[in-house]
Structure formats: C-alpha cells, structure tokens
Structure 1
Amino acid sequence: MQLRQESAGCQMRYFKPKPGTKSAVRILNTPFADIAAFTMVVRALVLNNPIGCTSYRSVKKSHPPLEIVREMYTAKFLYTNDKGKRIGTGQEMYDSVDGYEFGIAAMITNMANIAAHQGKVRHIPGADHFSVLLKCHDPNGELYFLSIARDRVTLSSYIDEGIRKRVEAWAEGVPAMV
C-alpha cells in the first residue's frame, strides 16, 4: 500500500494506479460501518456531484452527470443450534437498499427456512458487502466508471489524469473514506 506523507506526520492514502488498463483503486482504512453510512456517501456523491461530471445525450436518451449503473447488496446469515454451535450459513443478494433491508427482515422471520436449518438465524452485518457502480461523464467528453464498495473505491476506464485527481480529492474529503 502506498502512502503519501503529510506535513503533520500523518500519512494519507491515495489512489494507486494499476498497470494495463487505466484504472486506480483506493482501499479504505476502515470499511463503511453499515448500509446507512455507505448509502449516505453514494447519495451525496450523486446529488452534489463534487467531481464535476456533466449531463450528456446519447442516441434518443439524456443522461445525468452521474448515473447508477448497478447496485449489489449482500447480507450474510449464521444459523446456530441451541448450544450456540454453527450449523449453517447463508447469504442473500439484492439490487437495492430497500431490497437489502426488507430481505434481512424476511430471512430472520422465515419460519420454513429456520425449520429447515433446525436452529436460530442471525444476521451478521459486519460480513455484509455493498457496491454501487456509477457511470460519469467528464466535461472533456470522456465516460468513466466509479465503483464504490464497502471496503474500496475503484476508478476505471479513464484517460485524463485530471479525473483521477478530482476523484482522489473528493475521496479525501469524505470522512468515511479516509
């Protein structure tokens, strides 16, 4: 992991370019605490557009500056017997935050599933995964992708280094991503 030295002796993380295709990844020091913290960052990015993306038009369609292309939310579950011993695990994947939240409630109260496992079910929020893929249109006309996951941010398909610098500056200004 490469770190950039700050004047106060504190080290800050930065996006490390990957060889080959033009992409960069930023591994977060601490994963997002929960779905609420994750969603707040994604919504603020889309609503406030701090990286300066612009609207554009393709054949017969107008696009917003930042467009959510894909969402993926995975909830993990643990099944235990009366003695607390693990007797099974499970995971469910959803394509929206609402689906994720309703799905967790459904899994915990699904009596047929609980009976099939012959034990108690418990949601393990710390093991859950979240990711959102956004398509961004740069003022220079370039389209690139920004993937925000629970533990990393990946910038891909860009050419102009100014894009990486703007995304890096945005990420450094988000407390949950430092």
Structure 2
Amino acid sequence: MADFVQTTVNKTAVRDLAVPIVSVTSFNNLIQSVIDDNPFGCVGYTGADGEAVAPVVRNREHYTAKVNFINGEGKRIGTVSLQSPTITAFEANAAAVMEDATIAAAMGGEAVRNSPGETYYAQLKCHDPSGDDFYVTFTRKTVRLSSYQDDTIRNAVETWADTVGTLE
C-alpha cells in the first residue's frame, strides 16, 4: 500500500484587528495601496496562458451592505443584506434599497443603513520571488495570510502590517 508523502508545508496566520476598518473607502484604499506599493516584494510573472501577471492582484472580493427597516417606535422590524462583487455594486445596491419605496412599504418602516454591520472581503494573490504564491485576505476585522511556506513571507507581511495604523 502506498503512503501519502508530504510535498509542501502551507501555513496560515491571522491578525485580529483591535478596531474594525471604519469604511469601505478606507478598506479599498488599504487594498489598493498593497497592490500599488507591493510592500511584500512580490514579483510579476508570465501565466500559463502567456499573459503577464502583476506581482499582487485581487483574487476574490465581495462586499455586504446592510439596510435595516425601523418602525415608528424606533424598533428594527426588518433587514436587507446585499452581497455584491465590487464596491461600486455595493454602493449602488445599498442606495437602491434605501430609495425603494415599495420595499419600505412592504417592510412597514423606514430604511436606515447599518454601516457598522456591513462586511468587506478582499483576497490578494501575491507571487513571491521564490516562485510560490501566497494570499493576504482582508476583512473589516482580520488580516489572514495563507498558503505560505517560508516564514520570511509572514515576517514581511507582519512588519508591513505593524506600520499601518488601521491594522493594529
């Protein structure tokens, strides 16, 4: 009988944030700064299809808007959650629900945006000079480093995160 033989060691590390990222704009600015500034020293490469791939790319993302409906007594009587693939869709979908009189009438209350209850998710794929890919996933409350093998990658991400005030 053949045994499974370990071929790689992929690790995951998580940083819980003391304070959630305050807004989708702040969140997007953070993500874009990682893509633009490449603080982890990632390198571009040529993909299997022959296309050039940037050192850091958005791999996955989604954003969930929350709209509560409040009755005349100030009680929440309903909630609408809208998961969207982009920030543009997130904002447009939330605005559409906020302005939709038919939904408000059906819920029996006034639409109020629940910004603190909203969630943001963006996973960046980074190509290390060693040839390995790793992922840095951001939410409002955590930063997760995954699929890395070499601890120098974790050290680079941690050193960078220590310099970013919103990631404490």
Fold equivalence (TM over 0.5): yes
Deviations 1:18-38 (A, max 9, x none): xx9510000011110111111
Aligned 1:1-178 pairs, distance under 5 A:
21-60=10-49, 61-178=51-168
Q: TM-score, normalising length from structure 1?
A: 0.86
Normalising by structure 2, we get a TM-score of 0.91
Tell me the CA shift for residue 105 of structure 1.
0.9
- Matched residues, number: 159
Once residues 59 and 102 of structure 2 are traced to their aligned partners in structure 1, the CA distance between those partners, rounded to angstroms, is 35
Superimposed CA distance per residue, residues 47-83 of structure 1 (whole angstroms, 9 cap, x where no aligned partner):
1111111001121222110010111101112111112
User: 1: distance between equivalents of 2:34 and 2:127?
Assistant: 14
Which amino acid in the other structure matches residue 64 of structure 2?
T
Which ranges in structure 2 are unaligned for 5 or more consecutive residues? 1-8
- RMSD between superposed Cα atoms in Å: 1.2
* Residue ranges of structure 1 left out of the alignment (5+ in a row): 1-19
> 1-side partners of 2:35 and 2:130: how far apart?
19
Paired with 1:54 and 1:86, the residues of 2 have a C-alpha distance of: 49
Q: Percent identity?
A: 33
Distance 2:69 2:10 in 1: 42
SS in 2 for 1:50: coil
Q: Which residue of 2 aligns with 1:17?
A: none
